[in-house]
Amino acid sequence: AAVFAEAESRNIPFTVCQGNNDYSSGITNEDWLKIYAGYKNCIVFDESKDADGRIDFNLEIKASNSDETAFNIWLNDTRSGGITDEQIAWYKTNMENISKHNASVIENMENKDELLEKYGKANSLLFFHIPIEEYKDAWREYSENGFKNTGNVKLIYGVASETGRVVFNSDTPTNLFETMQELGGNHGMFCGHDHVNNLSMDYKGIRLTYGMSIDYIAYADIDTLGSQRGCTVITVINLAS
């Protein structure tokens, strides 16, 4: 892929999150993993070992001068139907284990109270392709309020340019959002799928963001559009203990 070549030529590490379009290609996940392994800077592996063979994994960013995990980047494979209960259980178990590990590392440190506040919950962002229902709920509440913020929803930036349903979320109910609220430490989630939606909302304390698009063939004439094309820069700071 041309975008991979750009990262490779600049020696930039990169990762990939699977979605419905990867399955429509006819390539198996086993073969996708082999393809990704062919790029020296591509970091993709299957960690969840779920029954569907989805490619789910977590990239742990360690603190600069100790063993606690400062930040987590979770990538979940939605296939064509969205996030499953099995994936959520895997995510929850690992989030809890990371939080416990951080607490054990920090326990004997001099400034443990400050560090527990910073790292006691496993700080995380989630990435997946098909949006969950809360994207639809947040946008509906915002739009039905005259496109103004409410007590639950704050538009951070962007617009929703899809027609019809606007948010084409998975039709499979999921408790991922509630699980994130329960666990704490989750700063937000990123999805794709709706190629010309480009917005970010704070919904009940969790950031819901659409990643920008790099495609040229998803919709008719999308190659002539430009407003949805680009990238989102995420800066993670204060990782040092």
Q: What is the pLDDT of residues 69-110, one digit of tens each?
A: 889 999 999 998 899 999 999 999 999 999 888 888 888 788
pLDDT at 241: 41
Q: Is 192 exposed, middle or buried (0-12, 13-18, 19+ CB in 10 A)?
A: buried
**pLDDT band at 218; cut points 50, 70, 90:** low
Q: What is the pLDDT of residues 131-158, one digit of tens each?
A: 999 999 999 999 999 999 999 999 999 9
**pLDDT band at 240; cut points 50, 70, 90:** very low
- Residue 151 CA, chain-centre distance (Å), reads 24
pLDDT at 67: 79
CA–CA separation, 80 vs 172, rounded Å? 10
Q: What is the pLDDT of residues 180-206, one digit of tens each?
A: 999 988 899 999 988 789 999 999 999
Higher pLDDT, 154 or 171: 154
- When mean pLDDT is compared across 131-145, 160-174, 183-197, 221-235, the lowest value belongs to 221-235
CA–CA separation, 165 vs 149, rounded Å? 20
Q: What are the helix (H) ranges across the chain?
A: 2-9, 20-24, 29-37, 85-106, 112-119, 133-144, 176-183
Residues 6+ apart with CB under 8 A from 59: 15, 43, 72, 73, 75
Count CB neighbours of 219 within 10 A: 14
Averaged pLDDT for residues 29-58: 94
CA–CA separation, 192 vs 76, rounded Å? 12
Q: What is the DSSP string of 163-210?
A: -TTSS---SS---HHHHHHHH--EEEEEE-SSTTEEEEEEETTEEEEE
Count CB neighbours of 59 within 10 A: 17
